[in-house]
Amino acid sequence: MSEVIARQSPWGPILVVDAHVHFFSHRFFEILAAQKPGLTLDAIHQKLDWQFPPPDPAELANVWARDLDRHGVHGAALIASVPGDEASVVAAAHAHPDRFSTFAMVNPQGQAFHPEALAGIQVACLFPAMHGYSMHEDVVKPVFEWAAQGKRAVFVHCGALRVGVREKLGMQATFDLRYSNPVDLHGVALRFPHVPIIIPHFGAGFFRETLMLADLCPNVFLDTSSSNGWMRYQDPQLDLRQVFRRALDVAGPKRLLFGTDSSFFPRGWHYQVFEDQATALYELGVNAAEARGIFSENLLRILAHSANI
């Protein structure tokens, strides 16, 4: 067991496990390059003002571990952010088993879903708007069966979707907002009541619908990650404190998962997201026990029963 690392917070030192970190591996960029004719790794390196990842994902995991050390963050959920990159986050977790958990983007369309492709993965991440399917379709059923059988979770991106790295590389985004409504998850959440379903960014613009779903389905969890820029689509009076107040009123503190949406270096871990969210929660009167749940324990509880741990 690695040494427990704590970060200073309004409640004192607190364990932080980030529920939303994109692991932009070398393989991730190889897959992106293959999706656009003429795009090479050298061209990607030139277009992005980022630190390019080493070929070995374990080395990138070391970079992330050192950065989390610097910020007093104990661990993170690492997301393989393109189908086919599952092995990268598995290697990262093998390098630091007490600090990293494994999430992976899955496209259940096309070829039949093969659970063996997700060996070592704890949470499958679905992006229906990106890949063009509805959560009402039978194509998602095998993913939820995989999750139910292994006591795993499913992450479903709803609401507005923009992928900054694809935009920087000039890759066309044909995401279909018709498939982004959290209400579409109601049926599958009821059919798989023991599968935790994680909705990132408070529903990314479908906040009301996300709260409705969470109210009706106790297996729905809200990921708080990113700057939550979707608030500009809402009532102009809505701010982060009000978002948290409403989420706490409906879902309660045990179903909120702190995340940052961190992704690339040299920026590394996005500490300002933590500061803003911790301040908002403290000002709302969230106590230390509830804060421990939001910033680490709720996610760890979801992952604790996974067959992959």
- Mean per-residue pLDDT, 292-304: 97
Q: Is residue 108 part of a domain?
A: yes
Q: Is residue 1 part of a domain?
A: no
Question: DSSP of 267-282, one letter per residue?
Answer: T-S-HHHHHHHHHHHH
Per-residue pLDDT tens over the stretch 190-232: 999 999 999 999 999 999 999 999 999 999 999 999 989 999 9
Distance of CA 127 to the CA centre of its chain: 11
Name the residue type at position 121.
I
Q: Average pLDDT for residues 265-278, to the nearest whole number?
A: 98
Number of domains in the chain: 1
- The mean pLDDT of the chain is 94
Range 253-270 average pLDDT: 97
Q: Residue 309: pLDDT above 60?
A: no
Q: Is residue 292 part of a domain?
A: yes
More confident site: 4 or 152: 152
**Per-residue tokens: 1:** 């067991």
181 lies in some domain = yes
Q: For 247-252, which contacts have Cβ atoms below 8 Å and span 24 or more sequence positions?
A: 247/202, 247/211, 247/214, 247/222, 248/284, 248/286, 250/211, 250/214, 250/215, 251/211, 251/214, 251/215, 251/220, 251/221, 251/222
Does residue 175 belong to any structural domain of this protein? yes
Q: Which residue has the tokens 């069966």?
A: 145
Q: What's the average model confidence in pLDDT over 101-112?
A: 88
Strands 197-199 and 153-156: parallel
At 140, is the pLDDT very low, low, confident or very high (cuts 50, 70, 90)? very high
pLDDT tens-digit profile of 225-247? 998 999 999 888 899 999 999 99
Closest CA relative to residue 302, chosen from 154, 125, 86, 182: 154
Confidence bin at 49 (pLDDT 50/70/90): confident
Range of the structural domain that residue 127 is part of: 6-304
Please report whether residue 50 resides in a domain. Answer: yes
Whether residue 25 lies inside any domain: the answer is yes
pTM of the model: 0.96
**CA 126 – CA 111 distance, rounded (Å):** 15
Confidence of residue 111 (pLDDT cuts 50, 70, 90): low
Residue 309 lies in a domain: no
CATH of the domain at 64: 3.20.20.140
